[in-house]
Amino acid sequence: MTLRIGRIDYLNIWHVFHLLEGVCPEGPEFGYVPGHPSRLNAALASGELDISPSSSFEYLLHAEKYELLPGASICAHAEVQSVLFLSPAPLAELPAWLARNPGPVCLTGASATSAALLKVLWSQKWGLPAPRWREVEPGAGLATGRPFLEIGNIALRHFVHPPRGWHIIDLATEWADWTGLPFVFAVWIVRRGLSGTARERLGRLQAHISAITADLEGHFEALSRLPELPDWLTSPALLRYWRAMNYDLGPREQAGLALFGECCTRQGLLPGMPGLRWFS
């Protein structure tokens, strides 16, 4: 059977998949299914995918269904540039702004992890009064005029070309300043119960992912000039973005993931921090 692989439609991992398809091409052995993180979460949960880089929160919430691909993630050790909270007022003045302008704080529906991270920072780091949250479609936040969370390519465009009058808060920077640890936005989640053939193919895929992510710097310059990349992003801006990302899942990344799970548990978003179960 074909190993069904979720493919995130964002620039933070576009280059990894571009290289991966060269060694694991679409065909009878490997198939790619594109989507944003929340859509891939749902496809994993329903059994439509066998593996995907998907929300770390999805693993923490439903760890009994999954295994983790060792050593692989999408994370940031400092800024991430594409997971942003945009506010019409500085954070210190936001409670007063919300009192003058009653209404919700908007969350993109594209990422469970980023929404949970914002709620954790809001309460546990920033100490702001609990707002009313409202989910909106990806890309719709700016038009609401409300404080909002945005992720992915849309958020990156706001980072590169900041909308006038908005204060931009990078959530990975906030997490790193608070905890001293990386923030793991996505892990490579494997559906449990795969057949022997699928697991053999998954082992080959794992080896290629490890080799690709270990040598990304050597490909950056050539990849950044490909014509299919968006015209609003210069090559230097894209290289800065790619170099801000990290794809490891070593001891410090695992510590960051565990701390996030504990924070989410305190926030009432998780019933507890599960153990990490690895594909082997």
Contact 94, 128 (CB under 8 A): yes
Summarize pLDDT for 13-61 with one digit per residue, the tens.
999 999 999 999 999 999 999 998 889 999 999 999 999 999 999 999 9
| Residue-range domains of the chain with CATH | 3-76+183-267 (3.40.190.10), 83-179 (3.40.190.10)
Nearest partner of 224 among 244, 208, 241, judged by Cα: 241
User: What is the structure's pLDDT at 53?
Assistant: 96
Summarize pLDDT for 65-98 with one digit per residue, the tens.
999 999 999 999 999 999 999 999 999 999 999 9
Contact 91, 268 (CB under 8 A): no
User: What is the structure's pLDDT at 38?
Assistant: 85
Continuous H helices in 122-250: 141-144, 152-160, 171-179, 196-214, 220-223, 235-244
Nearest partner of 171 among 194, 147, 192, 145, judged by Cα: 147
User: What is the structure's pLDDT at 111?
Assistant: 86
81 DSSP 8-state letter: S
Global confidence as pTM: 0.95
User: What is the structure's pLDDT at 43?
Assistant: 95
CA separation (Å) from 254 to 53, 71, 158, 251?
16, 10, 29, 5
Binned at pLDDT 50, 70 and 90, residue 1 comes out as confident
Phi-psi region of 14 (alpha: psi -120 to 50; beta: other; left: phi over 0): alpha
What percent of the chain is predicted at pLDDT more than 90?
94
Q: Over 218-264, what HEC string results?
A: HHHHHHCCCCCCCCCCCHHHHHHHHHHEECCCCHHHHHHHHHHHHHH
User: What is the structure's pLDDT at 110?
Assistant: 87
Mean pLDDT of 130-137: 96
User: What is the structure's pLDDT at 181?
Assistant: 98
Q: Hey, what amino acid is at 117?
A: L
Summarize pLDDT for 262-275 with one digit per residue, the tens.
999 999 999 999 99
